[in-house]
Structure 1
Amino acid sequence: MNRLKANILLLITALIWGTAFVAQHTSMENIGPYYFTGIRFMLGGLVVLPLALRELSKYRQRGAEVSLKDWLGMALCGVFIFTASITQQIGISMTSVTNAGFLTGLYVPLVPLMLLVFWRKLPHWSIWPSVVGCMVGTYYLSGGNLSGLSTGDFWMMVSAIFWAAQIITVGFVVRNCSTPVMLASTQFLVCGMLGLTGGLIFEDFSIANVMAAGFEIFYAGVLSVGIAFTLQAVAQTYTGQADAAIIMSGETLFAALAGAIILGERLPVEGYFGAAIMFISILSVELLPLWRRKTA
């Protein structure tokens, strides 16, 4: 697979993730965040598991073996997905789909920033104005008053940190062990088990509630988890972490469109201005380096 095809897969991933914000938002009317997260990721993991076992068998037939370090890396991806997903799911019940999408998109500038801080990978200079742009965009998204940010919005910002960590970790793991589907299935199952454990501790289980949220669980589990996260893991084998982050940031736009079309959400004028600044800032993280390489 070449880089172009990988990036197209990531764009499809962004579309599925963006529209899944609607399912995540409406699901909270019937089910708690821990059980929703646990069930959707267990479902996604089980959907992918047959393909993962087939991939692992072929990998071993080539004389290769998945090391303990690789398994731990896959499990760590699952921990990051769980932390990101549960904070996102809690937050989405207290904010709009549009805000949730754009604030989650903060993971894009966070990816190169974290690579610099923790791995000494110097990012392109565009990361700095992008970070400032995202901060300004967040200000206007709140209506020009940071006190206008809801508790759910702050949960979304926390979620973005862990999504960035997950993207970085996936990039390292798939390059060390060429089993992206096994990585996808493992991280889903780890996340699912953590979610179900949280549900047993913090929530009351009800079959009626699960059935009432059945469509949202199916959409968020099979499509958003089983298909989209697997596409991410496969595509990141053939493209860079920063590339993946910027393309998948398209989920913010798809989330806003889905929120407007399906839920009838609207932003104030300041909110649209802030969303535009954030989206431009997110795009600049990757587009400016590409433009520089092209002109060079």
Structure 2
Amino acid sequence: MTIRSSRTALFLLLLVSFVWGAEFVLIDMAVAIMPTHSFNTFRFLIAALSLLPLLWIAKEQIRSSQFWKLLGAGLLLGFLLFIGFYTQTEGLRYTSVSNAGFITGLNVPLVPVIGYLLFRKQVGKHVWLGILAASLGLYLLTMGGDLELNQGDLLVLTCAFAFAAHIVLTGRFVNDLPVVTLSIIQLTAVAIYSTLAAWLSPEPAFYYPEATPTSWLEQLNQPIVIWALLIAGLFGTAYAYWAQSACQTILEPHKVALVFATEPVFAHVTAWIFLDEHLGPQGFVGAGLIICGMLLSELGDRRKKPHMEPLEHSTSVN
């Protein structure tokens, strides 16, 4: 399926953002039953398998010279996704859905920072102002008067860094590698990494130590787990990665990031409706600053096109 209308592309990406925001509630309830590594194993296995028909439709050709680069890129990107989704999903056990949504959104202003550190991609003052606003918002949202983050907030903050690095590196790989094949490899890699992590963990794979022992079949008999896996696997993972790749063929990156900046808003709205979570006045100010930081970093002076060069080829540090 080829996206030809920018309006259609924006709608599809807004749907992705809505799914990502809304699924926080489902995943929050599911990981209270099924441990994180096992949940992510099933989620990404479903996502990888659901993309196989698209691979047949796309009829991508893989040159022999691309094989090892394709495999290496898929394993690396998959590892970043594994870290990101593990810390995000595990973090939901210890922090609120609203906090998790807004902290995850910090990956938007983090992208230019990591892009500069890795590839010397220059950024303007508006980006640094956005980062400052988002950092202040993070403080107000999560710490208040205490100079510490709780365990869940720290885990989700790690997730934001992993997602930002994934976005930056994906931009380097998709130019000369088949997109659908790369997506399937990285999603399969996450399923494999999660399986290994569940197997190596000293804790039981399918139940928490304090809970009654259960098998994976019993876990999958839980309706909330089934719905969370299907929605997160099919829509929040497989559909989301296809839509992002397809829509970026006609939309500029700043427009894509701007749409994705609505994800934490959807996360908070669904948490408010289904879990009765409330941010409070200070939390709303913090969340607003994070959104302002996202917008500043993406909607600043776009007239100056950035120059990007690999770190190993740079001759000076600006």
Task: Give the TM-score normalised by structure 2.
Answer: 0.84
User: Any stretches of 5+ residues in structure 1 without a counterpart?
Assistant: none
Question: Is 2:12 the partner of 1:12?
Answer: no
What does 1:93-172 align with in structure 2 at a 5 Å threshold? Answer: 93-142=93-142, 144-147=144-147, 149-172=149-172
Deviation at 1:243, TM superposition (A): 4.3
Matched residue SS, 1:289? coil
8 Å contact from structure 1 (residues 40, 218) kept in 2: yes
Matched residue SS, 1:176? coil
Deviations 1:81-118 (A, max 9, x none): 11100011111110111000000111111101111111
Question: Which amino acid counterpart does residue 234 of structure 1 have in structure 2?
Answer: A
Deviation at 1:201, TM superposition (A): 2.2
The residue that corresponds to 1:199 in the other structure is 198
Question: Which amino acid counterpart does residue 266 of structure 1 have in structure 2?
Answer: H
Q: Give the Cα separation in 2 of the matches to 1:47 and 1:27.
A: 21
Structure 1 counterpart of 2:231, from 208, 219, 223 = 219
Deviation at 1:225, TM superposition (A): 1.1
Larger radius of gyration: 2
* Closer, same or farther: CA 173–10 of 1 in aligned 2, 3 Å: farther
Question: Which amino acid counterpart does residue 61 of structure 2 have in structure 1?
Answer: Y
8 Å contact from structure 2 (residues 106, 134) kept in 1: yes
The residue that corresponds to 1:186 in the other structure is 185
Q: Give the Cα separation in 2 of the matches to 1:281 and 1:223.
A: 27
User: Any stretches of 5+ residues in structure 2 without a counterpart?
Assistant: 207-214, 305-318
Question: Which amino acid counterpart does residue 157 of structure 2 have in structure 1?
Answer: M
Question: Is 2:212 the partner of 1:210?
Answer: no
Question: Which amino acid counterpart does residue 270 of structure 2 have in structure 1?
Answer: A
Matched residue SS, 2:25? helix
Deviations 1:212-251 (A, max 9, x none): 2111111111111121122123333444555433332221
Question: Which amino acid counterpart does residue 293 of structure 2 have in structure 1?
Answer: S
Q: Which has the higher helix share?
A: 1
Q: Give the Cα separation in 2 of the matches to 1:6 and 1:171.
A: 18
* Closer, same or farther: CA 126–2 of 1 in aligned 2, 3 Å: farther
What does 1:203-282 align with in structure 2 at a 5 Å threshold? Answer: 203-205=204-206, 206=215, 207-212=217-222, 213-282=225-294
Question: Which amino acid counterpart does residue 187 of structure 1 have in structure 2?
Answer: Q
The residue that corresponds to 1:32 in the other structure is 35
Identity level (%): 27
8 Å contact from structure 1 (residues 39, 195) kept in 2: no
Deviation at 1:47, TM superposition (A): 0.7
Deviation at 1:172, TM superposition (A): 1.8
Question: Which amino acid counterpart does residue 263 of structure 2 have in structure 1?
Answer: E
8 Å contact from structure 1 (residues 143, 270) kept in 2: no
Q: Give the Cα separation in 2 of the matches to 1:120 and 1:242.
A: 18
Q: Give the Cα separation in 1 of the matches to 2:103 and 2:11.
A: 23
8 Å contact from structure 2 (residues 16, 235) kept in 1: no
Question: Is 2:62 the partner of 1:49?
Answer: no
Question: Which amino acid counterpart does residue 160 of structure 2 have in structure 1?
Answer: A
Q: How many residues align?
A: 288
Matched residue SS, 1:123? coil
Question: Which amino acid counterpart does residue 254 of structure 1 have in structure 2?
Answer: F
Q: Give the Cα separation in 2 of the matches to 1:238 and 1:65.
A: 28
Matched residue SS, 2:279? coil
The residue that corresponds to 2:174 in the other structure is 174
Deviation at 1:3, TM superposition (A): 8.2
